Each structure stands twice: as structure tokens, then as C-alpha cells.
Amino acid sequence: MSAPSVLRVGIVGAGANTRKFHIPGLQKQAGVEVVSVANRSRASGQRAASEFGIPRVADHWREIVEDEGIDAVCIGTWPYLHAPVTIAALEAGKHVLCEARMAMNASQAHAMLDAARTNPHLTAQIVPAPHTLALDRTIVELIGDGYVGDLVAVDAHVTLGSDFPVWDSPVHWRHDRDLSGNNVMTMGIWYEAMLRWVGPATTVTALAQRVVRHRTDEGGRRVAMEIPDHLDVLCRMAQGGQMRCSVSTVIGLAPSTSVAIYGTEGTLKVAEGGTGDSSFELWGGRRRNKRLRRVDIAPEKMRGWRVEEEFVNAVRGIEPVTHTDFATAVKYMEWTDAVSLSARTGETVRLPLFD
């Protein structure tokens, strides 16, 4: 099926990322029109339409999915709607660009993947983890060229935004399992990055805490927290070696976020402190070095944010989706489920969850 000369896009969920990146990014693409928007309320949808010059406001997301004049749907809702909207859109013959995290859980993610595979003529893309895009190609090439040798360990400490616990902090949608599912803090985006670098895990063992046990919602009610705010995960990796991943929003005076990749011949470290296209820098050292040195990233190897361009190009058959296809996103959703299951049962969980 050939792509239409003008690609007409409907927006389902005009949240912060959608307004900051997806709508303006799509509108910058030649031959693309954002023609309709559905948000949580008609009033908020109208505000988004007025801000971006979108001609129509829908009262419900199904109006966009069922509109025969719309070719593609950009989904910017919280995860609880990702699977229903994606599956309905694909079944209606529409291309899909869906905000991360992919879904509430791995079962929903597999249903989305099945819908995409049933409609291979349609483009289905998940918004990628953006924080290491500028470094990814260099990391992959160095590892592929033998810079670290065989993998021994990956050691990740994710503390972005962490501070001492705030007991009277408000409820955020990420604290609500009914809206976010098994997604916990930012662990999914970091595992997605590590999938690019060193591939998947085969086992998961997790410990989790809810340090702030209650928060206050908009109505002043005290709400019990179900989603952890401090997490430690141990994994065996498919290529050999193991991984330790610590994610927290409740440790004060913590060291900066970093991920170290230790091998038999060298070490690579991603650490906060970058400028320009990335807030992270890459450091490296090999067996005979006395310390890590910053690795300069060649400009031609720096990948910036081009999600909307890649999506439109994929629809038009110009390039395939690489950041991020549904099959890759399913892997990080399975890992997310495994973390949740292990933390709840105290048992080691094997991956993949579904054969």
C-alpha cells in the first residue's frame, strides 16, 4: 500500500511530551498535516488545538481512530490507553506512533505486537528512550570492535531527580498502577538503552521499597502507594556477564546517574555531565590505562531527536523504524514485568516470559 501524498495525523493525548516534541515535530515534516486532537477533556483538547492550529477537536479517541480521513495516530496518553488505542488504530488501517512506555504490562505489549504483525503494511513505532541517543552508536561500535572484551558486569545507578523523601508530596500519575501499570520510575528507559548496548537479560532478581508510603491526591485524600520508589535489580545477561541496576527517587545527596560496562579488556562509563545534544558523557579505558578518559563522539555518529521524521519516513517507505520498533519495546516490557514479579514474590524470574 502506497503512502498518501499528504499524511493526515490525529493526536490522542496532548500531554507535555506531545506538545513539546510530537506535534511540532510532525508539523515540521513536509506533506504532513495534524488534523484532529482528542485529550482528556474537550477543553484541554481545544487548548492544544488553538496552540498548534489543529482544525478539529474530538470528544473521544475513538472518533480519531474511526475517522477515515486520518492516516496515522500519535498516542501521547498515559500507558493505560496505549494498548487499546494502538490496537484499534492498527485494526482501522492507521499507522501508529505511541509514546513510551509501550503498555501497562507485557501481556498488553504482546497484544500490540500481534496487531502490528497482523498489519505489516502499517508502521508501528514506540517513542524511544532519548537520553543516550547521542552516545549509542559509538558505544555499540566500541563494544562490537572488542573495546571491552567479553562482558563481565553492567553497573547502573539511576538517581536523576532523586532527593531525600518528601512525605507530603502529591500523587503523580506515575505513582498510580491503574494508569502506569508495572512501569516503575525510569527503569524502563534505562533498560531500553542497555538493550541497544549489550542485549537482553535472561534472569531477573529484584528487591523494591516504597519509602514514601502515602501521598495526597488533588482532593486532599491520603493515597497508599503501590509503585516502588527505590529498586535494586540483579540480572544475568544473554551474552554472558551480569547486571546490577539501582533506581531511586528517594536517596539524598546521591552520586550522579551513571552506567558502567565492565569487560575483560576495557571499561565504558556513561555519566551525567554532557552538553549539547546529550546530558551524558561517555568515558572509557582499557587494560593498560590508569584511569578513564572522556571519549569524544564524532559529530556524524551523534544521533539527535528525529522520532517524528523517522516515523513519517517509515510510513513513506524511506527508512525502517529503528527507535523503537514494537519487538524491541516488548523486550523492555517483559523485563519490567519480571522486575515486578520478582520483587513481589522474592523469586528469580527467567526471560523471555513468553516463548
Same fold, 7-129+306-325 and 133-303: no
User: Given a cut of 70, is residue 276 above it in pLDDT?
Assistant: no
- What is the CATH class of 133-303? alpha beta
Q: What CATH number was assigned to the domain covering residues 7-129+306-325?
A: 3.40.50.720
Cα–Cα distance, 334 to 276 (Å, whole number): 33
- pLDDT tens by residue, 89-127: 999 999 999 999 999 999 999 999 999 999 999 999 999
- SS3 string, 179-224, reads HHCCCCCCHHHHHHHHHHHHCCEEEEEEEEECCCCEEECCCCCEEE
Give me the pLDDT at residue 126, please. Answer: 98
- CA 208/CA 192 separation, integer angstroms: 20
Q: Residue 253: is it exposed, middle or buried by C-beta count within 10 angstroms (0-12/13-18/19+)?
A: exposed
> In degrees rounded to 5, what are phi and psi of residue 281?
-115, 160
Give the pTM: 0.94
Q: What is the pLDDT of residue 273?
A: 83
pLDDT digits (tens, 9 = 90+) for 236-275: 999 999 999 999 999 999 999 999 999 999 999 999 986 5
Domain ranges for the chain: 7-129+306-325, 133-303
How confident is residue 278, by pLDDT bands cut at 50, 70 and 90? low
Q: Is 197 exposed, middle or buried (0-12, 13-18, 19+ CB in 10 A)?
A: buried
